[in-house]
C-alpha cells in the first residue's frame, strides 16, 4: 500500500486524476470500477478535463462495472450511485451505455442481479483499476462492518451508512439495504485507488490504514493489497501523524 498525502482536496483530486490518466495511456482494453459518493467528484472532473486535452486516450476501449447501489433506487433518483456516476463520469466522458454494467437495484430478482454482475466481472475482468471512497464506518462499496462476503451481495446497511446517506438525497428515502461487489472482487482488482478527504475521515483512515486488519473495518483489508494507492488530503491524514 502506498500512502500519498496532499495539501487539500483539490490537489489530492488532481493527483488522483493524473494517476488515472497515466494508467489509461496504455490504450489497452480495460475493466474499470469507480465509486460514487462525494469524495471522487473532483477527481472525475479533472479526469474529464485531462481526457479532453489528451488525444491518446480512447474511452471506447474502457468497460465499467458498478461497485454498489442503494436498493430501491435507480438512475432517475438524484443521489443514486448510477445518477452520480452518469452525471460526473459517464456522460462527461461520453461512455457508451453498452460499455457500462450497472446493478439494477430496483429489479425484482436482486439475487440474479448479483449473479449477473459476478458473470460480467468473470467475462471481462479482473478489474484493472478500482477507485474507492471510504465510509465513516470503514465500509468500501457497501461492504459494511462485520458483513463481509466474497462476491456481489445484498447487504443490510448499518446505522452510520443510513444516517450519512441523507446527504445525497433530498427528502426521506427509507433506504435500508444496498447491493455491492464483494471483498474478493475488490481485492482481485489489479490496482486500487482509495480516496479520502476532510477531518471527518481522519479517525477511520487511521484505523483502516494503520490498525488491525479486521472485518469490523472492511477497508483495513486494503493493507494487504500490493497495488493499493491511497490519496489523502492533510485533514484526512491528520490521524496518521502518530505513526
Ligand atoms: C459509493 C461507495 C461508498 C462511498 C463511501 C464514501 O459508491 O462505494 O463506499 O465511497 O460511502 O462516500 P463519500 O465519498 O460521499 O464520503
How many Å apart are CA 26 and CA 22, to the nearest integer? 8
Q: Is 27 left (phi over 0), alpha (psi -120 to 50) or beta?
A: left
Active site residues: 68, 137, 139, 144
What is the reported pLDDT for 54? 79
Full 3-state SS string of the chain = CEEEEECCHHHHHHHHHHHHHHHHCCCCCEEEEECCCCCCHHHHHHHHHHHHHCCCCCHHHEEEECCEEECCCCCCCCCCHHHHHHHHHHCCCCCCHHHEECCCCCCCCHHHHHHHHHHHHHHHCCCCEEEECCCCCCCECCECCCCCCCCCEEEECCHHHHHHHCCCCCCCCCCCEEEECCHHHHHCCCEEEEEECCHHHHHHHHHHHHCCCCCCCHHHHHHHCCCEEEEEECCCCHHHHHC
Q: Which residue among 90, 133, 148 is best mutated to probe the pocket of ligand 1, counting the most ligand atoms within 8 A of its Cβ?
A: 133
Specify whether the CB–CB gap between 195 and 215 falls below 8 A. Answer: no
Give the distance (Å) from ligand 1 centre to CA of residue 55. Answer: 31
Q: Of ligand 1's atoms, which has the minimum distance to the CA of residue 84?
A: 7
135 lines ligand 1 (CB under 6 A): yes
- Which residue in the block uniquely carries the three cell numbers 493493507? 223
Cα of 111 to ligand 1 centre, how many Å? Answer: 23
| Atom number of ligand 1 nearest to Cα 142 | 9
Cα of 43 to ligand 1 centre, how many Å? 14
Atom of ligand 1 nearest to the CA of 168: 15
User: For 151-187, how does the pLDDT look when each residue is reduced to its tens digit (9 = 90+)?
Assistant: 999 999 999 999 999 899 877 778 999 999 999 999 9
CB distance 59 to 108 below 8 Å: no
Query: CA-CA distance, 203 to 205, in Å (whole number)?
Result: 5
Could you tell me the distance, in angstroms and rounded to a whole number, from the CA of residue 37 to the centre of ligand 1?
4
- What pLDDT score was predicted for residue 243? 47
Mean pLDDT of the chain: 95
- For 190, phi and psi rounded to 5 degrees? -70, -35
CA angle 199, 184, 39 (to 5 degrees): 25
Q: Tell me if the pTM is above 0.75.
A: yes
List, for residues 53-92, the tens digit of each pLDDT value. 977 889 999 999 999 999 999 999 999 999 999 999 999 9
- The mean pLDDT value for 36-45 works out to 98
Of all protein residues, the one whose alpha carbon is nearest to atom 11 of ligand 1 is 135
Q: How many angstroms separate the CA atoms of 142 and 120, rounded? A: 19
Amino acid at each position: 500500500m502506498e500512502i500519498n498525502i496532499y495539501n487539500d482536496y483539490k490537489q489530492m483530486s488532481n493527483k488522483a486524476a493524473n494517476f488515472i490518466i497515466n494508467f489509461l495511456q496504455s490504450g489497452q482494453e480495460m475493466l474499470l470500477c469507480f465509486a460514487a459518493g462525494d469524495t471522487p467528484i473532483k477527481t472525475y472532473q479533472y479526469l474529464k478535463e485531462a481526457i479532453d486535452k489528451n488525444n491518446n486516450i480512447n474511452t471506447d476501449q474502457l468497460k465499467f462495472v458498478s461497485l454498489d447501489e442503494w436498493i430501491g433506487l435507480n438512475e432517475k433518483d438524484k443521489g443514486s450511485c448510477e445518477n452520480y456516476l452518469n452525471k460526473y463520469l459517464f456522460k462527461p466522458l461520453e461512455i457508451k451505455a453498452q460499455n457500462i454494467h450497472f446493478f439494477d437495484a430496483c429489479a425484482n430478482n436482486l439475487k440474479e442481479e448479483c449473479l449477473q454482475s459476478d458473470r460480467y466481472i468473470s467475462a471481462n475482468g479482473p478489474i484493472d483499476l478500482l477507485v474507492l471512497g471510504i465510509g465513516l464506518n470503514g465500509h468500501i462499496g457497501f461492504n459494511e462492518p462485520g458483513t463481509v462476503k466474497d462476491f456481489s451481495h445484498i447487504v443490510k446497511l448499518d446505522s452510520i451508512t443510513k444516517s450519512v446517506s441523507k446527504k445525497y438525497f433530498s427528502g426521506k428515502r427509507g433506504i435500508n439495504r444496498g447491493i455491492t461487489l464483494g471483498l474478493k472482487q475488490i481485492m482481485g482488482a489489479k490496482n486500487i485507488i482509495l480516496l479520502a478527504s476532510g477531518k471527518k475521515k481522519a479517525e477511520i483512515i487511521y484505523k483502516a490504514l494503520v490498525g488491525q486488519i479486521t472485518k469490523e473495518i472492511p477497508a483495513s483489508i486494503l493493507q494487504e493489497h500490493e497495488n493499493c494507492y491511497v490519496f489523502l488530503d492533510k485533514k484526512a491524514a491528520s490521524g496518521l501523524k502518530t505513526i
